[in-house]
Amino acid sequence: MPIPSDCDRQIDITDKLCPLTFVHTRLAVDSMKSGTVLSILLKKGEPLENVPRSLQELGHTVLSLKPVDGSPDSYRLRVKVS
């Protein structure tokens, strides 16, 4: 999958179930430098509720959270790594 121009890395966790959604997200964030932007594709429900909140609790900044066009159950979360 091509990386969008508004982020440094993108991961797709739409096929993962909680708590693996955050495990995969945490591994990605921990491998990135401060100030970089991670884009995360996730499903509504627990991932949509838990992943953004958990990242903020770790001190990262949520830049945007928007539905994915053409995929009613998927969202794109952009996070600035601290």
Catalytic residue IDs = 18
57-63 long-range contacts, CB within 8 A, separation 24+: 58/26, 58/29, 58/82, 60/29, 63/37
Rounded Cα distance between 60 and 74, Å, is 21
